[in-house]
Amino acid sequence: MNNMERDIVFIDTSIYKAENYFAPNNRILALKKLAEKKVISLVFTEITNREVLKHYKGDVTSALNNIKNNHEVLACFDDTRPLFFKETKKKYLRKCEHTLSAFWSQGYTIGYEFCKDVKSVFNKYFDLERPFSEGKKKDEFPDAFVLQMLEQYSNRFCHKKIIVLSNDKDMRDYKSNCLVHVDYKAYITTKLAVATTIDKIKTAIDNEKDNILSDIEAKLEEKLEDGWNYSSMFNTEDLPEIEILACEIDMDEEFSIISKNDNSYLVELRLHSYCEVKCTYFNLDYATYDREDKIWYGGEWDTETLKGDENFNMLVSYDIKNGDLKVESFEISDAMPIFRHPWE
C-alpha cells in the first residue's frame, strides 16, 4: 500500500510457539497483515523454516495423540470422532505445511549459502559466546547459524539492520551491529498503530483521488492546446492546429510518506499521464524556398498523431486531526508527456 521505509523483520521459532502458531487473531497473523500492507518486510531462514515446521507438526501430533490416549470419550460424538482417524492426522500435517508455505511466501527466505563461516560459529561455541551458554550448548547451533545468516544477508544485500523477534534469552543477548532485538509484543503494537494511520491516509487519498485526477487532467488539456509545445517537432514556420484525442491521468496505489510533524504527514503520490494529440500542419519536408519571393513552394497540409507519456510526483499533506488532504506541491509541466513521432 505504501513504500515508506520499512523494517526488515525476522521471527524466531520461539515466537511461533508462544503465539500457538496460527491461532485466530494472534500476533503471527498480525505480522502477516503488516507485511501484506507493506508496513514491514519479512525475512526467514531455511534453518528456522525447517525448525518451525518440525515443531508445528510435532505439537499437532502430540495434541492428537493426547486426545487418543486420554480422551477416548470424545469418540462417542460424531463431530469429534474424526480426531481419532489416521487420515485426520495426515490432513492436519499437510495443512501445517501449506499454512507455513503461504506465510513464508510473504517474505524472502535466506538460504544456506549465507552460513559459510563455520569457524566463527565453533569459536563462539568453545568460548561460550552468545547464543551458546552453559548446559545444552549443542541445541544452540541452529540459532548460531541463523544469526550468522541474518548478518551476512544484511551486510551483502539489504545494508540495514534487521529486527529480530525472539523469546530466546541467548538469542536476545547476542550482540551484533546488524541485528536489533526488541520485545515482540510492544513492537507489533507500535506497528499496528502505524498501519492504522496508513489506512487513514489511504482512505483520504481514495476520497480525493477523482478530484485530483480531474483537476490535473483539465490543466493538462489546457496546456496541450498550445501549439508551441509541438512546433519544434515539425519543419514548419506555422504553429500546427491541435486536436486532443486522449488525455488520461492515473495514480499508483502505492504512496510514500516523506516526513511527519506534530500535525500532519507529508505524502508523495506517484502519477502517470498518457496523451494523444492530432497535429495538422503545413509540411515543408519536400518543399523548396524561393529567396527572391521569400515563399515556400511544394508544401502540403499533413496530419500526424503524437503519443506521449510521463511519470510524475505530487506532494500532499494529510492533517492528522481533521483527516484532510491538501496538495502541497505540483507543477503541470511535470505531467506534460514527452511526445514521440509514430515511427520513433
Percent share of the chain, pLDDT over 90: 49
Asked, for residue 50, whether it belongs to a domain, the answer is yes
Per residue in 241-297, pLDDT tens? 889 999 999 999 888 888 888 788 999 999 999 999 998 877 766 667 667 766 666
CATH of residue 136's domain is 3.40.50.1010
Which pLDDT belongs to residue 29? 94
Asked, for residue 314, whether it belongs to a domain, the answer is yes
Range of the domain at 267: 198-340
Same domain (yes/no): 145, 244: no
Which pLDDT belongs to residue 86? 86
Same domain (yes/no): 217, 158: no
Query: Once rounded to an integer, what is the mean pLDDT over residues 162-189?
Result: 91
Same domain (yes/no): 169, 71: yes
Closest of 192, 198, 312, 193 to residue 256, by C-alpha? 198
**Please, which residues have CB within 8 angstroms of residue 16's CB and are 6 or more apart in sequence?**
28, 52, 55, 56
Same domain (yes/no): 120, 11: yes
Last residue of some domain: 135, 153, 182? 182
Query: Once rounded to an integer, what is the mean pLDDT over residues 85-109?
Result: 94
Last residue of some domain: 182, 207, 241? 182
Same domain (yes/no): 165, 209: no
Same domain (yes/no): 36, 139: yes
Asked, for residue 2, whether it belongs to a domain, the answer is no
Could you tell me which residue, 325 or 136, shows the higher pLDDT? Answer: 325
Taking the C-alpha atoms of residue 171 and residue 139, their distance in angstroms, rounded to an integer, is 12
Which pLDDT belongs to residue 126? 41
Which pLDDT belongs to residue 157? 79
Same domain (yes/no): 248, 160: no
Stretch among 12-26, 28-42, 157-171 having the lowest mean pLDDT: 157-171
What are the start-end ranges of the E strands in the chain? 7-11, 40-45, 108-110, 162-165, 179-182, 241-260, 264-283, 288-290, 295-297, 300-319, 325-329, 338-340
Instruction: Work out the pLDDT band at 115, boundaries 50, 70, 90.
Output: confident
| Mean pLDDT (the chain, rounded) | 85
Single-letter amino acid, residue 319: D
What does DSSP assign to residue 20?
T
Instruction: Work out the pLDDT band at 125, boundaries 50, 70, 90.
Output: very low
Last residue of some domain: 153, 182, 211? 182
Same domain (yes/no): 107, 139: yes
Same domain (yes/no): 130, 223: no
Same domain (yes/no): 160, 247: no
Query: Once rounded to an integer, what is the mean pLDDT over residues 36-58?
Result: 92
Stretch among 52-56, 99-103, 191-195, 280-284 having the lowest mean pLDDT: 280-284
Asked, for residue 142, whether it belongs to a domain, the answer is yes
Same domain (yes/no): 168, 265: no
State the total domains in the chain.
2
Same domain (yes/no): 295, 165: no
